[in-house]
Copies of this chain bind each other. A is one copy, B any other.
Amino acid sequence: MPPAPGDRDARREDVSQAVWRILAGKGFGGLTLRAVAAEMGVSTGMLMHYFPTKRDLVGHALHLLEEHTAARPRRHRPAEGLAALRAVLLDILPLTPDGTARNRIWVSSWDLALADDGLHADQAGRYARMRSAIRPHLEAARRQGELPASADLDRLAADAIAVTHGLVVQALFDPGRFPPDVQTATLDAFLASIATTGDLRD
């Protein structure tokens, strides 16, 4: 019965890429149906055919964001413990044009997410997932003696995410002062500080 099965998914993928480019350039504030349509050289009606409302489009864009974040080319995960944590955090930083675009979109989404209850909860969940994702590495680090036995891993997880995202924001606004090697060094300074610390007090 479907006449042209014409890859529906492929079309949605095309739209996704156009949305991605708009977001990377203009942020969520510049994401309009007409901008996306113009970027693709198609009509707005075509967009609505695949995404009935703009909310669907935004929702898909945020889904894309998480997908890109999960599917980005990962550097070799060298070992367990702090080295592995370092690799995870380095993967987050805007060290490449692609990483910059990804983080640009992340930060841009926060205005929307803070204003919209549903997106707000999504974002809180994403952070919780990030923290629990790095916990195993912290546990391994503590097991290997890279962290003191008394270390509060939940606190350290929040600290590590905080350093990383705080660095992301500063780097986005001042890429000249935070080239990749400076970002790496700054992150390493943090890791070194928690690693060589004998006592992370309550």
Binding site for B on A (CB under 8 A): 26-30, 104, 107-108, 110-115, 120, 123-124, 127-128, 152, 155-156, 158-159, 161-167, 169-170, 172-174, 177-178, 185-186, 188-190, 192-194, 196-202
Contacts and interface: CB of A to CB of B under 8 A. Distances in A.
A85 to B, nearest CB: 14
Given A114-B172, A163-B159, A163-B166, A189 B152 contact: yes
Contact of A30 (B26, B27, B115, B194): B115
Residue among A107, A110, A161 with most chain B CB within 10 A:
A110
Nearest to A158: B186
Contact of A162 (B113, B115, B170, B188): B170
B186 A159 contact: yes
Contact of A127 (B107, B113, B120, B173): B173
Contacts of A196: 197-199
A132 B201 CA distance: 28
Contacts of A104: 114
